[in-house]
Amino acid sequence: MSSAQDVLGATARARLAELVDEVTTNPPRLAVLFPAAARTIARGPVDPADPDGLITPRLEDGVRIALLRAAERRFDPSELAVEITALYRHGDAEEKRAVLRALDHLDLGDALLPLVHDALRSNDSRLIAAALGTYAARYLDDHAWRHGVLKCVFTGVPLDAVVGVAERADAELARMVRAYIAERLAAGRSVPQDAHRLLQPDTAGDQDEEE
């Protein structure tokens, strides 16, 4: 699967290289360049079948991730965490999504878990999907992770967007999914296919051992 930077045109790649150099030379410029990245370089889906970038990061996500990785080389971790938190708090949904995607590529430990929790409290499928990447798989506690996965089912975020489902799905998540399915059926409503998928042996962890 192509990454965002792989599909940038020559002009966009050259412009991105200039901005990466600018951030490397003058790190505070990140606060200006990050929000403007989609307008000044590129925006749009990498995968036309995934226009909202729920599974594959969009072009502007890749550009913004590159800027954050450049900033990581100049800020110390605590300073970078402050900068990234500000970008998230003051950004629009697309900027928040890029920050969440970038967490998978930065070495900041669990310092930015509050951003993941914030995204999972939202009802924006773009943020929920971006929040459940490698960073969440590594640092999010089981309780919050389970509720994040269940929220994907509620909001229509495909399970393919969630890193580590097969490894982390367990009996408690299966119990929560069964309760959700029972609720939907009792109300005469349809059940998303991904809810059933979570009950399959390859994604339901050790549920059979505990039943």
Number of helical (H) and strand (E) elements in the chain, helices listed first = 13, 0
Phi, psi of 69 (to 5 degrees): -70, -35
pLDDT confidence of residue 203 = 56
pLDDT confidence of residue 7 = 82
* All residues at 6 or more sequence positions from 115 whose CB lies less than 8 Å from its CB, including other chains: 84, 85, 88, 96, 99, 100, 103, 131
Q: Is 156 left (phi over 0), alpha (psi -120 to 50) or beta?
A: left
Per-residue pLDDT of the chain (211 residues; tens, 9 = 90+): 456 677 899 999 999 999 999 999 999 999 999 999 999 999 999 999 999 999 999 999 999 999 999 999 999 999 999 999 999 999 999 999 999 999 999 999 999 999 999 999 999 999 999 999 999 999 999 999 999 999 999 999 999 999 999 999 999 999 999 999 999 999 999 999 999 999 976 555 444 444 4
